[in-house]
Amino acid sequence: MFLERPNYPANFKFPDVDLHTIAGYIRNEVNLTFNTALGGKKAISSYTVDNTNKLPLGTNIYPLLKIFRNEESFLFPIGAGNIVSLTIAYVLAYSTKDTASGLTFHVAKEICRILQNSEIDDLIPFTIDKEQGITIKYESATTTDIVYDYAKINCAVFAY
């Protein structure tokens, strides 16, 4: 199979459609899971597809889901797809100390549940690479009254 050269139109915005799809799906599912527990507040207000160290500023951005590619492996035969190594970060900012780490933990576990189900649920628009597993790293920065808490989830998904 010969891979054709892509044709990009003028003013193409270079969206990462795969990652926007994954992030949007995870945001919607996590918000549905925690809707009652949070009294209708969103567990994830917004998402960004960005691999810089910068976090966006503004109102109604946090809690934030940030997703980016770390590495890709292309499968053979040519055109069989690829495996994308991802980081999915859940960033909780301006939260009180008594709830921040607990909420971060529970949201990260819910994201892992969604990722694990992707292997068997055809309605989920991606499939996890179970051979590479899923890891979560929790980190936080604290000032006197404000907590910046986040979880970094590393996994790999199949892209076709």
pLDDT of residue 80: 81
Q: In this structure, are residues 28 and 40 in contact, taking their beta carbons and an 8 Å threshold?
A: no
Angle of CA points 48, 136, 33, to nearest 5°: 65
Predicted confidence (pLDDT) per residue in 59-88, tens digit: 789 899 999 999 999 988 887 889 999 999
Band of the pLDDT at 57, cuts 50, 70, 90?
confident
pLDDT of residue 53: 77
Q: Is the pTM of this model over 0.85?
A: yes
pLDDT of residue 143: 60
Average of per-residue pLDDT across 23-40: 97
pLDDT of residue 40: 94
Helix (H) or strand (E) holding 97: helix 97-117
Residues 6+ apart with CB under 8 A from 129: 83, 155, 156, 157, 158
Predicted confidence (pLDDT) per residue in 124-151, tens digit: 989 999 999 999 999 887 665 656 788 9
Q: What is the DSSP string of 2-52?
A: PPPPP-PPTT-----HHHHHHHHHHHHHHHHHHTTTTTT--S--EEEE--S
pLDDT of residue 154: 97
Predicted confidence (pLDDT) per residue in 81-125, tens digit: 899 999 999 998 766 666 667 889 999 999 999 999 998 888 898
